Amino acid sequence: MKTPEIKTHYFQFESDFVDNLRCIPMIVRYKLDTCRIKLQLSDWVKLNYQEKDQLAELPCSLPADIQRYANFVNNLVVKYTGVVPNILKTLNDNWIYTQRIPDEVISKAQEWNCPDITITQWRNLDLLQRFALVKLSRSGHEGKNFPRAFREFQIV
């Protein structure tokens, strides 16, 4: 399985934590989902800046890259916690599909009084942008970043 290679990029809505990488940026979240690793924020904060930066920069698209990335993450987490991170049992990767806007994105947009996103707008977003909107739509994510992402992606 080959996944699209995505250039390391940080979004503007992440700017309040990217300088010190205190939270997991979307580029790393995408790569973690690619190799199906559930990295806890409590584990992330134990990593040093260089290790966090490596997780953003390392390739994770070809099968060998994905395996190396997973091994690297696992080794880091074991180094700091003594425990291997959990594996995602299921992965709802609806950000890869461009023929339908995920219901959770539509619902979150309505919740935040964002304008309706059209299918053309959804298709014109790149993969990492679609990934970010889906992730920001799900529970457990800071809600204020969803409308910020909408503005950044020029959906408003």
Contact between 120 and 22 (Cβ < 8 Å): no
Q: In this predicted model, what pLDDT tens digit does every residue of 129-147 receive, in sequence order? A: 999 999 999 876 667 899 9
Non-local (6+) Cβ contacts of 71 within 8 A are none
C-alpha 129/C-alpha 138 separation (Å) is: 15
Report the percentage of the chain scoring pLDDT > 90: 81
Alpha helices in the chain (DSSP H): 15-18, 26-34, 41-44, 49-57, 63-81, 103-111, 119-124, 127-137, 145-152
Non-local (6+) Cβ contacts of 92 within 8 A are none
Give the predicted TM-score (pTM) of the model: 0.92
pLDDT at residue 6 in the model? 84
pLDDT at residue 142 in the model? 64
Q: In this predicted model, what pLDDT tens digit does every residue of 65-89 receive, in sequence order? A: 999 999 999 999 999 999 999 999 8
Give the pLDDT band (50/70/90) at residue 90.
confident
Domain ranges of the chain: 12-87, 94-152
Q: In this predicted model, what pLDDT tens digit does every residue of 30-61 receive, in sequence order? A: 999 999 999 999 999 999 999 999 999 999 99
The per-residue pLDDT of the chain, averaged, comes to 92
